[in-house]
Structure 1
Amino acid sequence: MSQDELILRRFESGDSDGVWYLHRSASQDVGVCGPEGAWEDDLRNIEEVYIGSGGDFVVAHIGLRLAAMGGLKPFDDDVAELKRMRVDPIRQRRGLGRTVLRELESRAVALGFKWIMLDTTTIQVGAQRLYESAGYVRRREGMLHGYAVIFYEKRLTRHDDSA
């Protein structure tokens, strides 16, 4: 995949159907897709839950197809929660997840957050590798929505050339 094919931008209302489809197909692909439920309501209201709350949500398109996505949801003044990182199963292992992650980290710094926290299921080994290679530290394990999960966090650094 050449980078010039990739369009990375903030979520727009016209992306709603593509976001929902990508969420469901990527979740099914890794075996964490149960029946639809209230835990997915954030994806029905991205502009309010993510952007309007002081976070952000980015989408990556290749041509007309949504290839990857992810969101930042404020947890408190210093901490953003990384949510809904998804990569189209047919486009995985090509750096898209890392590209979206870097973009979200950059936006988190610009928004004034000092930390990012996230969780991923224990069966999503690819996601664990991505986060750990990007400097996220395992803090604990637990259960969410019936799945065993690992909780991660990362201290963000400002890229300030005048320091």
Structure 2
Amino acid sequence: MFQDEVVVRRFDPTDTDDVWHLHRTASQDVGVCGPEGGWADDLRNIGEVYIASGGDFIVAHIGSRLVAMGGLRPVDDDVAELKRMRVDPALQRRGLGRRILGALEARAVVLQFKSIVLDTTTIQVGAQRLYESSGYVRRKQGMLHGYAVIFYDKRLTGHDDPSG
């Protein structure tokens, strides 16, 4: 079965070139390409930006091929931002995005975040469906890097929070 071949694990520095390639391929496929330079600097320094900061970055492989990825970056002690969710365009609609999202949500709970925020462009209908079917709530729309975006959030469960 397809899903049995997928290995989901934490980012390793040896993944850097593959992460960059998947980011560019998936972004270009949906017509979302930010400017070169600062817009994607986080992908050149995943260890520091995501992992050392108290978040995480997850990749999925089939054999040696990196097929999906996503990161969590702390906003504050209670909130993490979901970033860089990408799935190989040739393998979309097979549950890879949902697996990455589930792994990142589980990590967010372990890291004691209470909610996750994210944004996606209005043209990324597949991403919107994934987030909305996974319990994310649209909060507002706006502009980022010249693109119309939708901002989402989701309250996480699984906390031993005596306040509620």
Instruction: Please indicate the TM-score interval, normalised by the length of the shorter structure.
Output: over 0.9
Structure 2 partner of 1:94: 94
Offset from partner CA, 1:4-28 (integer Å, 9 cap, x none): 2110000000000000000000000
Structure 2 partner of 1:104: 104
Q: Which deviates more, 29-38 or 55-64?
A: 29-38
> What is the deviation of 1:2?
2.3
Equivalent position SS for 2:135: coil
> What is the deviation of 1:3?
2.2
Ranges of 4+ aligned residues in structure 1 off by more than 6 Å: none
Code of the residue aligned with 2:120 in structure 1: it is T
CA distance in 2, matches of 1:152, 1:103: 18
Equivalent position SS for 2:101: helix
Structure 2 partner of 1:116: 116
Structure 2 partner of 1:73: 73
CA distance in 2, matches of 1:26, 1:129: 17
User: TM-score normalized by structure 2?
Assistant: 0.95
CA distance in 2, matches of 1:125, 1:133: 12
Matching of residue 12 in structure 1 with residue 12 in structure 2: yes
Asked whether the equivalents of residues 34 and 145 of structure 2 are also in contact (C-alpha less than 8 Å), the reply is: no
Cα RMSD over matched residues?
1.1
Structure 1 partner of 2:44: 44
Matching of residue 30 in structure 1 with residue 26 in structure 2: no
Question: Which ranges of structure 2 fall in alignment gaps of 5 or more residues?
Answer: none
> What is the deviation of 1:159?
7.4
Asked whether the equivalents of residues 112 and 159 of structure 2 are also in contact (C-alpha less than 8 Å), the reply is: no
Offset from partner CA, 1:99-150 (integer Å, 9 cap, x none): 0000000000000000000000000000000000000000000000000000
Equivalent position SS for 2:151: strand
Equivalent position SS for 2:54: coil
Equivalent position SS for 2:77: coil
User: TM-score normalized by structure 1?
Assistant: 0.96
CA distance in 1, matches of 2:122, 2:78: 26
Q: Which deviates more, 1-10 or 114-123?
A: 1-10
CA distance in 1, matches of 2:35, 2:28: 11
CA distance in 2, matches of 1:11, 1:34: 23
CA distance in 1, matches of 2:121, 2:45: 23
